[in-house]
A and B are shown apart, each in its own frame.
Chain A
Amino acid sequence: MTPEAADVLKGAIALVGYGLAAVGPGIGIGIVVGNAIQAMARQPEAAGMARTTMFLGIAFTEALALIGFVLFFIA
């Protein structure tokens, strides 16, 4: 395998890796936001707290996708 081909292959694998890394957080963020919206709909008076917690939850969940993004560039 030529070094160029190895480079291309490495880039492609990194791309697949990032794609896989994005699946979990995608589902997770969906769950977090969905439940946050339910909470806001049930208790609109606590919407501010639910929104803050939602952003915090998104931040935690999204961390995995962001790590994948970083690794894609490092690879």
Chain B
Amino acid sequence: MESVILAASECDVSEEIICAPKDVLELFFFEDALFTIGGFNFTRTVFLIFLAMFIVLGLLYFGLRKGEKVPSKFAAAIESLVTFVKEDIAIGIIGPEGVKYAPYLLAVFMFVIVGNLFEVTPLINFPITSRMAIPLFISLVTWVIFVFVGFKKNGISYLTGLIWPKSVPIALRWLVGIIEFVSTFLLRPVTLAVRLFANLVAGHLMLTLLLASGWIFISSVGDIGARAIIGLPWFVFGLGIYLFEIVVAVLQAYIITLLSAVYVQTSVHPEH
């Protein structure tokens, strides 16, 4: 919100055709701590992280609390969400032993989907997953899980199978080994985090830029007269992106959950 106001104060509506803030990065930093506990800055983002946590806990608790024989619509929706993560993602991808990972995948899915949807929630309008902390943490946990499971299930042959693949001709083996090693141990966690993060950053930027531009132009109609019509296409375009971002928010939550499951699956059955 304050960044929108900042953009408004800096934007010269009589000269510019779109109101871009001088430094777009300030859309993502909330430096001002609401309060500080022993060096821990309780910023707006931190508040939103805990809000997302309470929303997830509330949805799951109130959806599953009663466990009625004939569930209400809300309970049925939450139940189908949980069974979707369990049956389709955990068991469907990892296999029968995937049920062990279902709680982790459910936590990832719920936390990320609520965090993503904050982007399009009125009055919040800020996806907590567009800050690197959460995507990075989740991808690191996934990395630890799949590396640990890989070594636990296959012993040292998990590593040797990756860097010295028997199915590849010997001349190319070292090259494929390096690529596999880098891609598995370095690129996987980075891309898993950056994919989510980048999508949400881009979405938040687009929304803020378009909707704020549209709003600033239209609201300053008294000062600039007919030029305020410039705001209309920005606003309409922004609303289109708004709908698109709802889809992106859900899809990215699904993809990070799915890829976490796929990565674990490749460690459980490395021959695939």
Contact = CB atoms under 8 A, between A and B. Distances in A.
Is there any pair of Cβ atoms, one from A and one from B, under 8 angstroms apart in the complex? yes
Interface of A: 48, 52, 55-56, 59-60, 62-63, 66-67, 69-70
Contacts, number: 35
A63 B262 contact: no
A62 B262 contact: no
B191 interface: yes
Contacts of B8: none
Nearest to A60: B183
B191 A59 contact: yes
A30 to B, nearest CB: 17
B195 A55 contact: no
Given A48-B92, A63-B187, A56 B262 contact: yes
Interface of B: 92-93, 183, 187, 190-192, 194-195, 198, 255, 258-259, 262
Nearest to B254: A55
Contacts of A69: 194, 198
A52 B187 contact: no
A36 to B, nearest CB: 14
A59 B198 contact: no
A34 B93 CA distance: 22
Nearest to A48: B92
> Interface on chain B toward A: helix, strand, loop, or mixed SS?
helix
Contacts of A63: 183, 187, 190-191
Contact of B259 (A48, A55, A66, A67): A55
B92 A55 contact: no
A67 B93 CA distance: 27
Nearest to B92: A48
B198 A66 contact: yes
8 contacts: A56-B262, A59-B191, A59-B192, A59-B259, A60-B183, A63-B191, A66-B195, A67-B190
B194 A52 contact: no
Contact of A52 (B183, B190, B191, B262): B262
Contacts of A70: 190, 194
Contacts of B192: 59
B198 A52 contact: no
A66 B262 contact: no
Given A52-B262, A55-B255, A55-B258, 4 more contacts: A59-B195, A66-B194, A66-B195, A69-B198
Nearest to B93: A52
A62 B199 CA distance: 12
Contacts of B191: 59, 62-63, 66-67
Contacts of B262: 52, 55-56, 59
A2 to B, nearest CB: 17
The 5 closest A-B pairs by CB, nearest first: A63-B191, A66-B194, A69-B198, A66-B191, A63-B187
Nearest to A59: B259
Contacts of A62: 191, 195
